[in-house]
Structure 1
Amino acid sequence: MTTATTLTLSLENLSCASCVGRAERALTAVDGVSAAPVNLATETARVEFSAPATADALAGALDRAGYPARRETAVLEVEAMSCASCVGRVERMLAATPGVLEARVNLASERAFVTYLAGATTPQTLSAKITKAGFPTRPREDNASTVPRDKAAEAEALKRKALLAAVLTAPVFILEMGGHLFPAFHHWIARSIGLGTSHWIQLVLTTLVLAGPGRLFFTKGIPALLRGAPEMNALVALGTSAAYLYSLVSVLAPGILPAGTANVYFEAAAVIIVLILIGRWMEARAKGRTGEAIRALVALAPNDALVDVDGKTITRPVSQVVTGEVVVIRPGERVPLDGEVVEGESLVDESMISGEPVPVAKVIGHTVTGGTVNGTGALKARVTAVGPDTLLAQIVRMVEDAQGARLPIQALVDRITAVFVPIVMAIAALTVVVWLVIGPDPALGLALVAGVSVLIIACPCAMGLATPTSIMVGTGRAAQLGALFRRGDALQTLQSAQVVAFDKTGTLTEGRPKLTAFEVADGWIPDEVLAMVAGVEAQSEHPLAQAILQGAADRNVGPAKVKDVQTETGFGLRAQVNGQRVLVGSQQYMAREDVMLTGIVDRADPMRSRGETVFFTAIDGQLAALIGVSDPVKPEAARALQALRAMGKDIAMITGDDPATAAAIADQLGIDYVDAGVLPGGKVAAIEALQALFGKVAFVGDGINDAPALASADVGLAIGTGTDVAIEAADVVLSSGALSGVVNAFEISRRSMTNIRQNLFWAFGYNVLLIPVAAGILYPLWGVLLSPMLGAGAMAASSVLVLTNALRLRFVRPKLEEPT
């Protein structure tokens, strides 16, 4: 009989009894739901259900009904995970908790990222469940430091254990292996202290190794084995126990063993512990370096701030400063928090945020960002954001979320590691049986060696570390190069995108249009006409209108007084100026208003061919002037597009600008695919058309109108100087407006995926090749039987190799430098 589950869900958008009824009907329609009363006052639903109903199904039904269940995300700090099997166990336990929608566990950062339905469970409940399973866990509070757990203390503790184990093991190794390597030494031991005494010395020292430095493998591995969830520690515990117990019987009761099989393998058990501890020590050191990017970002924020209180300056911890207070920023100091300048002028180095090397002038009314460096002037700023709301904290959170991502390539690893350890144990058992049945004498000793070697050499550690370490280091390095991956899976998708589509204005161009041409028809006075046009455009908030106003100001022409201004959406403006009817707008607007397009209209095409947007001005029905406004192409645009083409990418441009202007920009930059005159809603269709033609598409944009396209593209890259809406819709945020960030994001994506494939190839290839060798497949041919000690060394080395390979991503050079 299936056990019923009860969940209390917190719902949104409930406003009346009708909403309650619709939400209840949506829930009860899910197969398996027996009751789902909804409470309008508390905005909750108490759902009783059993299989086949799931939390995902309930959430989906509420989403479709328009009353979504609130989701929350918790970050859990998980300790004692040692391999991919541990990760799989923790993930399965979290995912099986009622109300949990998604659980991602990262072995490298030792964190779990859990998305759950609000009200159904809590981070404390989840932590308690995982802790009870043998993995001490605690939830990270929202205001807690996001600095990755420092592995220095752990590495130092492992170093001490490895050294102690090595000191105790050295005599064991010398006594036993010295005799095997040098027969004379064996005879000397037999004559001097006797083989029996030698075995007792090995027994005592090996017992100290296993009970002391090696105890951690047993305290973690044996409980996991008894719970039916064996992992790497269990394999080590089984292998060393087998070697130790067999040797113990050989010393204490050799008569119960078949003749000729009473051999000791104390050195194997002890050396295995030493080598794996050394591997864990090196692994901890390497893991500590994977979080350097986040630590470097967090270190940018100062600990203290100078606060202006009633004219007096006092020092206060940044954590105690609240919004609205005024902080004093002395020359050369870091800005403590986000704020708005209320006094002073200075140049501020914002390169850590924007990547731009040139300091930015700050005056009263300008914003400053926490972590940036003040120049030579003193500033006072009113604090606008503290704690997790600061830009630096948001960047850290963005990098951290990406580092916790699960890439599609990880699915294969998950399927294999879910059954890896039980399969290894089965192979080890089968190896022992086969050796006992068909092995040469002494079969029992050879069977033991082969079985222990299989247990020890298997390495789910390397499998578990192969992907997350590369993600952590890769996304961290990307952040340093100005590309913030908001979604970690974009790291894999980006490098496979065949087409890179760009918005034009503000992305390929500066986004700051300028008045570049103003030509009047015969009989009109330029300054008088420009004054009329400026007066009309002063009533508009369009960026091109601002360009015309600035151009008039540069020509010392003030705007004329206007009245009865009307906006003709998509066409232009009309107004009355000194009793005259003035029209400013597109050529289509002039045609619609029956303005004769003669004379200077012939000059429009050459202007468009230069990439200028052309406006027409008519006064009392007569064509009076042509206005050319252009948005300069970014200096680095050509180099960036050339670098992308060198990577084998096709380049496209999707813009709302008129086709002639778009074509001029495309010719200038060598863009092959242009879709111009596209309305905001049409950009999604343009993206879909490119996807149908080429496959995966990356789209780069910056404006509100780009948000739908950024969301619909396979990977959306938002220019960091763009709007908040665009940034929220994107998968990757480029912290500056420079297009070099696009190139560097592609380079990091390519290098990271190459690194992951190398790691996975090694992690899987290592086991595929060496487990059969450990089982003795080479023995019939060449008499080679792998020593458990060599297996332990190879296993430890495999994890260190994977981590070391991932750490190479820290040194990836930018494919394209920021413009200076």
Structure 2
Amino acid sequence: MAKQDKNIIKESYPVLGMSCAACASSAENIIKQQEGVVDASVNFATGNLSVAYQSSLTSSEKLQQALQSGGYDLLLEEESKQQETLEALHVAKYQQLKSKTIWAILLSLPVVLIGMFFMNIPYANEIMFAFATPVVIWLGRDFFVGAWKQAKHHTSNMDTLVALSTGIAYLFSIFNMIFEDFWMRRGLHAHVYFEAAAVIITFILLGKLLEEKAKGSTSTAIKKLMGLQPKTVTLVQEDKGEVVIPIEQVQIGNRLLVKPGEKIAVDGIVVFGNSYVDESMLSGEPVPVAKSHGEKVFAGTINQKGSFQFEATKVGKETLLAQIIKMVQEAQGSKAPVQKLVDKIASIFVPVVISIAILTFILWTVFGGEHAIVQALLAAVTVLVIACPCALGLATPTAIMVGVGKGAEQGILIKDAESLELANNIDAIILDKTGTITAGRPEVNDIVWAQYNSSQEAILFSIEKQSEHPLAEAVVNYLNQAHVVELSQFESITGKGAQANYNGLSYFVGNKKLLEEREVEISTALETKAKEWLSQSKTVIWFASERTALAVLAISDQIKPTSVQAIDELQKMGVELYMLTGDNEATAQAIAHQTGIRHYKAEVLPQDKATFVKDLQQQGKVVAMVGDGINDSTALATADVSIAMGKGSDIAMDVAKMTIISSDLIKIPQAIRLSKQTVATIKQNLFWAFIYNLIGIPIAAGILYPINGFLLNPMLAGAAMALSSVSVVTNSLRLKWKK
């Protein structure tokens, strides 16, 4: 995933070996310190590094070596293989955690039973030591290795907290077991805390296991999209007939056969046969789309009953499905504005917690009374255990991952987390007319003949068949049963229409100005009909011979079936709507009246649209621009939230931060509701993550002891820490089931 800009390379790679949000901050700092790195960002939830660097000064291999020295790693495989490798690593990590957790529970159980109920049996300390040692040294070794690697880089993370708390408890217990007399001579009981060390590691392993499982669920959207790609295709060759080949071997121009029920492998154009194709996985629209000669088909969509052949036009990374997968991956890996504040907190979180633990130890030692040292040690260990940067680090990105994934499943492509968060605040939406509110496909509504004649219909059909004017296609589609006649001296007249000769006579198709210039006679009946249609904001086209008008046609761009409903929903949400169009005043007024839009402007130039966006922004509004054409691209780039229609121009989709694949306006209120739900989830997650630490750390330090004698058990602190991360991820997953 690399883009070249002179010698600046932008890449995205999976980071391996991260265990908490502080790890992401640590890995990000390591990369930023490397020579030649322009910018770097590590997202804990997605496990991705986005980096821009000067290729003359560094390379991805050097960045990998730098991360490896800090206890992390970079996956430098080809993009096509990355997901499979990550999936395999995820499964392996989950299985390893599962095995460790089961062993930790089995070994910790006797330690807890003895430590809490059978402390006075012979050799109780030695038995607990025997069971706790493999939990701490073997099952918990990754925490100590990670902490040591962090210490070498003068950084700290979750591993540091776990290693310090369990290591201190374990070593203190060994000291008390061997030198029991040291405390007896001072009139104190030599307590051991093997059960605390073992249970803390067990709970943290259990929390990581549940977190790993939950995090796997947040990226199901990507897995579903990737699952749409078939592994093989049927290639049609003139000499060999039908040959099944791997999808990687498909080239542009290949003719491929799609049988009933098969997935379409790459993008292309139908050249033979016809069928209906289920495009719901791309557009979110449940109704299958008819496909015949000349129609476009897209990778990942499913053929229904018929079979057809199509010519490949886009393969590999160029297909619409591949672009969608890439866009979803980048969006899930991007950081919402609120995340930047959370990252700053996470980066100083561990040092602050260690400082609080040291301060707790000192205060207990000074003011703790008879058992000051023991209680000081326990309180410090509990503070280290209960503090959880993971919950903070997961709060925003997990919600963003689920929100972006849910959007993709609904046919709403979101390019980055910032636009998803910002959509929550939209209070003004500017709508382009053609292709956004209307279908963007002019259709003939009616035709009135002075005196119907099938040969005249054939002449009209034949002239429009040769014309390149956009409205000519509408006439051809309307008269598709007519037969073609041979014309001579065809000429396109710019801004007016076209003319051609047939059997020595001239015929004209175009606007009224063309007929007036040729001094063509127009009957009162046709003139009256034309005025009626013009009052309804329809486009009027005339067909005439040299002397008289033969027919008049009404053409209009139909409003999309769901546009009125979408506009009504948006206005009920309190969003102000504005329609901007290059069309005339009468047409704009008619469309605004039919759809219920109160604010509109007609005859607007492309640059005027961007100016209108700025005017609204200066009024303090958060503005969304919705468009589909090249003429909308400047306004899209200017708006706070830019939304492109998927059936529009490529440049509009490149500029826009959101794309509605189906071009259905009803998806916009859905996108705003999704944004509101995602932002609400982020706020809930951050509230619980902050409140957990704000309440948990002081209680762990012993703030309640002078009031009611309560001291938090380190084992309970371990359980609370494990559950805090799981609760944040689980809350994010609730987004999936919201409507």
Cα 1:223–1:71, aligned 2, differ >3 Å: closer, same or farther? Answer: closer
- What does residue 659 of structure 1 align with? 585
CA distance in 1, matches of 2:290, 2:507: 43
Deviations 1:551-603, CA, capped at 9 Å, x for gaps? 566788989866664324xxx4576878989794488x999999999988787
Picking from 287, 290, 295, the partner of 1:361 is 290
CA distance in 2, matches of 1:264, 1:91: 40
CA distance in 1, matches of 2:310, 2:444: 35
Following superposition, the deviation at residue 294 of structure 1 comes to 0.8
Following superposition, the deviation at residue 515 of structure 1 comes to 2.6
CA distance in 2, matches of 1:292, 1:732: 20
Picking from 155, 159, 163, the partner of 1:233 is 159
Q: Secondary structure at the match of 1:139?
A: coil
CA distance in 2, matches of 1:318, 1:74: 25
Following superposition, the deviation at residue 718 of structure 1 comes to 1.4
CA distance in 2, matches of 1:327, 1:687: 46
CA distance in 1, matches of 2:91, 2:443: 56
Cα 1:539–1:313, aligned 2, differ >3 Å: closer, same or farther? Answer: closer
Cα 1:605–1:198, aligned 2, differ >3 Å: closer, same or farther? Answer: farther
Tell whether the 8 Å contact from 1:146 to 1:397 is kept in structure 2 after alignment: no
1:210 partnered with 2:136: yes
Tell whether the 8 Å contact from 2:505 to 2:546 is kept in structure 1 after alignment: no
1:690 partnered with 2:616: yes
CA distance in 2, matches of 1:332, 1:141: 31
- What does residue 439 of structure 1 align with? 368
- What does residue 377 of structure 1 align with? 306
Picking from 314, 319, 324, the partner of 1:395 is 324
- What does residue 613 of structure 1 align with? 539
- What does residue 167 of structure 1 align with? 106
Deviations 1:505-530, CA, capped at 9 Å, x for gaps? 1111121212335679xxx7687999
Tell whether the 8 Å contact from 1:529 to 1:625 is kept in structure 2 after alignment: no
CA distance in 2, matches of 1:477, 1:560: 55
Q: Secondary structure at the match of 2:72?
A: coil
State the TM-score, normalizing by the size of structure 1. Answer: 0.82
Matches within 5 A, 1:107-126: 107-126=44-63
Tell whether the 8 Å contact from 2:507 to 2:543 is kept in structure 1 after alignment: no
- What does residue 134 of structure 1 align with? 71
- What does residue 543 of structure 1 align with? 470
Say which is worse superposed, 721-730 or 368-377, in terms of deviation: 368-377
Cα 1:80–1:563, aligned 2, differ >3 Å: closer, same or farther? Answer: closer
Following superposition, the deviation at residue 401 of structure 1 comes to 0.8
Q: Which amino acid aligns with 1:111?
A: N
CA distance in 2, matches of 1:694, 1:668: 29
1:292 partnered with 2:220: yes
Picking from 389, 400, 423, the partner of 1:460 is 389
Picking from 396, 402, 409, the partner of 1:473 is 402
Following superposition, the deviation at residue 717 of structure 1 comes to 1.3
CA distance in 1, matches of 2:45, 2:559: 43
CA distance in 1, matches of 2:212, 2:328: 21
Q: Which amino acid aligns with 1:216?
A: D
Q: Which amino acid aligns with 2:600?
A: V
CA distance in 2, matches of 1:450, 1:669: 66
- What does residue 61 of structure 1 align with? none
Deviations 1:395-426, CA, capped at 9 Å, x for gaps? 11111111111111111101111211101100
Following superposition, the deviation at residue 132 of structure 1 comes to 1.8
Q: Secondary structure at the match of 1:143?
A: helix
Q: Which amino acid aligns with 2:92?
A: A
- The answer for unaligned runs of 5 or more in structure 2 is none
Picking from 150, 166, 173, the partner of 1:224 is 150
Following superposition, the deviation at residue 626 of structure 1 comes to 6.7
Q: Secondary structure at the match of 2:75?
A: strand
CA distance in 1, matches of 2:521, 2:177: 112
Q: Which amino acid aligns with 1:386?
A: V
Tell whether the 8 Å contact from 1:222 to 1:237 is kept in structure 2 after alignment: no
Picking from 41, 46, 63, the partner of 1:104 is 41
- What does residue 32 of structure 1 align with? none
Q: Which amino acid aligns with 2:104?
A: A
Picking from 4, 15, 18, the partner of 1:81 is 18
1:335 partnered with 2:272: no
Deviations 1:142-180, CA, capped at 9 Å, x for gaps? 3334455353332221111111111111111111122xx
Deviations 1:66-86, CA, capped at 9 Å, x for gaps? xx6354332222111111111
1:149 partnered with 2:87: yes
CA distance in 2, matches of 1:145, 1:11: 18
Deviations 1:294-329, CA, capped at 9 Å, x for gaps? 111111111222334533433332223333433332
Cα 1:296–1:550, aligned 2, differ >3 Å: closer, same or farther? Answer: closer
Cα 1:420–1:590, aligned 2, differ >3 Å: closer, same or farther? Answer: farther
Tell whether the 8 Å contact from 2:422 to 2:641 is kept in structure 1 after alignment: yes
Q: Secondary structure at the match of 1:212?
A: helix
Deviations 1:433-472, CA, capped at 9 Å, x for gaps? 0111112321111111111111111100111111111111
Tell whether the 8 Å contact from 1:152 to 1:285 is kept in structure 2 after alignment: no
Deviations 1:649-686, CA, capped at 9 Å, x for gaps? 22221111112111111111111221221122222122
Matches within 5 A, 1:579-590: 584-585=510-511
Tell whether the 8 Å contact from 2:283 to 2:410 is kept in structure 1 after alignment: no
Q: CA RMSD in A?
A: 3.3
1:422 partnered with 2:317: no
Q: Secondary structure at the match of 2:81?
A: coil
Q: Secondary structure at the match of 1:409?
A: helix
CA distance in 2, matches of 1:216, 1:292: 28
Tell whether the 8 Å contact from 1:531 to 1:559 is kept in structure 2 after alignment: no
CA distance in 1, matches of 2:230, 2:507: 60
Cα 1:312–1:505, aligned 2, differ >3 Å: closer, same or farther? Answer: same
Cα 1:383–1:533, aligned 2, differ >3 Å: closer, same or farther? Answer: closer
Say which is worse superposed, 406-415 or 151-160, in terms of deviation: 151-160
- Percent identical pairs in the alignment equals 39
Q: Secondary structure at the match of 1:384?
A: strand
CA distance in 2, matches of 1:511, 1:271: 65
Say which is worse superposed, 302-311 or 275-284, in terms of deviation: 302-311
Following superposition, the deviation at residue 608 of structure 1 comes to 4.7
- What does residue 727 of structure 2 align with? 801
Picking from 606, 615, 618, the partner of 1:680 is 606
Tell whether the 8 Å contact from 1:608 to 1:664 is kept in structure 2 after alignment: no
Cα 1:198–1:758, aligned 2, differ >3 Å: closer, same or farther? Answer: same
Tell whether the 8 Å contact from 1:104 to 1:404 is kept in structure 2 after alignment: no
CA distance in 2, matches of 1:791, 1:591: 90
1:250 partnered with 2:187: no
Say which is worse superposed, 290-299 or 117-126, in terms of deviation: 117-126
- What does residue 700 of structure 1 align with? 626
CA distance in 2, matches of 1:807, 1:387: 31
CA distance in 1, matches of 2:512, 2:726: 65
Deviations 1:361-392, CA, capped at 9 Å, x for gaps? 33344333222222233333333333222222
- What does residue 638 of structure 1 align with? 564
- What does residue 205 of structure 2 align with? 277
Tell whether the 8 Å contact from 1:72 to 1:117 is kept in structure 2 after alignment: yes
Following superposition, the deviation at residue 342 of structure 1 comes to 3.8
CA distance in 2, matches of 1:612, 1:694: 37
Tell whether the 8 Å contact from 1:152 to 1:288 is kept in structure 2 after alignment: no
Picking from 188, 191, 207, the partner of 1:263 is 191
Deviations 1:476-533, CA, capped at 9 Å, x for gaps? 111111111123321111221111221111111121212335679xxx7687999998
Tell whether the 8 Å contact from 2:427 to 2:576 is kept in structure 1 after alignment: yes
CA distance in 1, matches of 2:13, 2:162: 27
Q: Secondary structure at the match of 1:315?
A: strand
Tell whether the 8 Å contact from 2:487 to 2:500 is kept in structure 1 after alignment: no
Q: Which amino acid aligns with 1:773?
A: I
Q: Secondary structure at the match of 2:692?
A: helix
CA distance in 1, matches of 2:710, 2:252: 72
- What does residue 573 of structure 2 align with? 647
Larger RCO, structure (CA 8 Å, separation 6 or more): 2
